[in-house]
Amino acid sequence: MKQLRIGLIGYGFMGRTHSNAYRKVNNFFDLDHQCVLQAVCARDEAKVKAFALKWGYKSVETDWRKMIARPDIDAIDICTPNNSHAEIAIAAAKAGKMILCEKPLSMDGPEGRKMVAAVEKAKVPNIVWYNYRRVPAVSLAKQLIDEGKLGRVFHYRAKFLQDWTISPELPQGGAGLWRLDAKAAGSGVTGDLLAHCIDTAIWLNGSIERVNGMTETFIKERTHTLTGKVQKVAIDDACAFLARFKNGSLATFESTRYARGHKALYTFEINGEHASIAWDLHDLHRLQYFDHRDESKLRGWRSIHVSDSDHPYMKNWWVPGLQIGYEHSFIHQVADFVKGLETGKPAGPTFRDALETQNVCDAVLKSAKTQKWENVAKVK
Ligand SMILES: NC(=O)c1ccc[n+]([C@@H]2O[C@H](COP(=O)([O-])OP(=O)(O)OC[C@H]3O[C@@H](n4cnc5c(N)ncnc54)[C@H](O)[C@@H]3O)[C@@H](O)[C@H]2O)c1
């Protein structure tokens, strides 16, 4: 069996989900490559050593440049805050490494374009962790849409709601709170949460051409953890936008961290001439489906328990009726990435695919400033 030797950078939330995926993927998927936890990198030596011990990494680094230079690493996995993705990815591409990069691809479109150019010049396999595509119910939605079950699509609506930044006492910046610091995150909910909704939407319903957005920063100043000073908050706390897809359908998107009671309420709905589909992350193993072509007296919303062996990915897991969860979307992404290496048909979203999402985010943020409709830059 060939080896795929992983070098993971960043051991926070995503570092754990990815490590778990590499450890489990070969137990559940038949692949020609064995994922090997070769090295993990973070700046705190004691903490990174403890992480390596806990998860089974063979070695540690405290400087990502050293890790990229190592000949015994095949793939670099970027799990660091958004402002470091480009520098690490471009250096890794130059070193000829495969790259699995967390989302959003970059701080903005122009930076993302440089990353796309770097991986395509180096011809290195690349993927971005928009993992919700690989929740089996979401993959099933894609199958149903591709089979033409919906017919012409009229509407797409998505939201991603949280409630963890409502307190004005919450600082910005530093470990755990870099999402509130525009210098580390690029944007607020637009790049953090709506980027997921946009990736899924483009995957299911095609390109988005035009957007009209509004943003708000409810808490204008917060103490910065690193400087200790009260500083302006430069991220968007909430964002809502209208969009027009290339296929003529209309969309609404909404995201906030100020929706009391919601922790990670990612939902989408898509309405076509024959059928509608709805999905909710809080009930992620179910897909809601309504088909107008059903016999009228039986017509109604079906709640499909996506756990049967003919549902996407499910034959690799337990027996029909037993569901899986959030962590599995990452395992599926690793399995698809590795299969892509083996078949020569790369799994998406590639950096190029993810740039499209980045361009939509840029257009939304621009529109919020200009208060006009904005065209989404095309990925050339
Ligand atoms: N796919 C998803 O659903 C999803 C969910 C959460 C986060 N993310 C993305 O994953 C990335 C990381 O987010 P997170 O929630 O894991 O953050 P986190 O704060 O939990 O972890 C970030 C890690 O990066 C490390 N780090 C920062 N700078 C570094 C450097 N120069 N060298 C080495 N390590 C460094 C930190 O020490 C920390 O371990 C972000 O880009 C975020 O947008 C994606």
> Which domain-ending residue is among 71, 103, 131?
131
Q: Ligand 1 atom 5: the closest Cα is on which residue?
A: 14
Residue 258 predicted with pLDDT over 90: yes
Residue 379 lies in a domain: no
Residues 66-76: tens digit of each pLDDT: 999 999 999 99
Rg (CA), the chain: 21
Our answer on whether the CB atom of 129 is closer than 6 Å to any ligand 1 atom is yes
Centroid of ligand 1 to alpha carbon of 129 (angstroms)? 12
Residue 380 predicted with pLDDT over 90: no
Which of 14, 83, 190, 198 to mutate for ligand 1's pocket (most ligand atoms within 8 Å of CB)?
A: 14
> Which domain-ending residue is among 103, 131, 159?
131
Q: Ligand 1 atom 29: the closest Cα is on which residue?
A: 80
Give the CATH number of the domain where residue 90 resides: 3.40.50.720
The encoded tokens of residue 152 equal: 């012409």
Same domain, 99 and 213: no
Residue 184 lies in a domain: yes
Residue ranges making up the domain that contains 77: 2-131
pLDDT band at 29 (very low <50, low <70, confident <90, very high): very high
- In ligand 1, the atom with minimum distance to the C-alpha of 132 is 3
Q: Ligand 1 atom 33: the closest Cα is on which residue?
A: 42
Residue 18 lies in a domain: yes
In 3-state terms, what secondary structure has residue 329?
A: helix
For 249, list phi and psi in degrees, rounded to 5: -80, 160
Centroid of ligand 1 to alpha carbon of 188 (angstroms)? 15
What is the per-residue pLDDT for 166? 98
Mean pLDDT of the chain: 98
What is the per-residue pLDDT for 140? 98
Residues 32-44: tens digit of each pLDDT: 999 999 999 999 9
Residue 143 lies in a domain: yes
Our answer on whether the CB atom of 100 is closer than 6 Å to any ligand 1 atom is no
Residue 241 lies in a domain: yes
Q: What percent of the chain has pLDDT over 70?
A: 100
Our answer on whether the CB atom of 313 is closer than 6 Å to any ligand 1 atom is no
Centroid of ligand 1 to alpha carbon of 373 (angstroms)? 33
What is the per-residue pLDDT for 252? 98
User: In sequence order, what are the beta bridge partners of 61?
Assistant: 41
* CA distances, 264 to each of 19, 130, 176, 284 (Å): 22, 15, 17, 11
Same domain, 98 and 143: no
Same domain, 137 and 272: yes
DSSP characters over 275-310:
EEEEEEGGGTTEEEEEETTS-GGG-S-EEEE--STT
Same domain, 126 and 141: no
Same domain, 70 and 200: no
What is the per-residue pLDDT for 285? 97
Q: Ligand 1 atom 28: the closest Cα is on which residue?
A: 80
What is the per-residue pLDDT for 294? 98
Our answer on whether the CB atom of 326 is closer than 6 Å to any ligand 1 atom is no
Our answer on whether the CB atom of 195 is closer than 6 Å to any ligand 1 atom is no
Residue with tokens 């088909």: 291
For 133, list phi and psi in degrees, rounded to 5: -55, -30
Please choose, from the candidates 189, 171, 319, 321, the residue with its C-alpha nearest in 3D space to the C-alpha of residue 264: 189
Same domain, 85 and 157: no
Please tell me the distance from the alpha carbon of residue 370 to that of residue 161, in angstroms, as a whole number.
25
Give the CATH number of the domain where residue 206 resides: 3.30.360.10
> Which domain-ending residue is among 131, 158, 193?
131
Please tell me the distance from the alpha carbon of residue 214 to that of residue 294, in angstroms, as a whole number.
40
Same domain, 123 and 149: no
Give, for 140, the enclosing helix (H) or strand (E). Answer: helix 136-146
Instruction: Please count the structural domains in the chain.
Output: 2
Same domain, 67 and 43: yes
Sequence-distant (6+) residues with CB within 8 A of 230 are: 221, 222, 223, 224
Same domain, 41 and 120: yes
DSSP characters over 23-56:
HHHHHHS--SEEEEEEEEE-S-HHHHHHHHHHHT
Per-residue exposure over 309-323, b if at least 16 CB sit within 10 Å of its own CB, e if not = eebbbbebbeeeeeb
Q: Ligand 1 atom 32: the closest Cα is on which residue?
A: 42
Please choose, from the candidates 274, 34, 267, the residue with its C-alpha nearest in 3D space to the C-alpha of residue 137: 267
Torsion angle, CA of 249/350/318/20, rounded to 10 degrees?
A: -130
Our answer on whether the CB atom of 21 is closer than 6 Å to any ligand 1 atom is no
Same domain, 278 and 305: yes
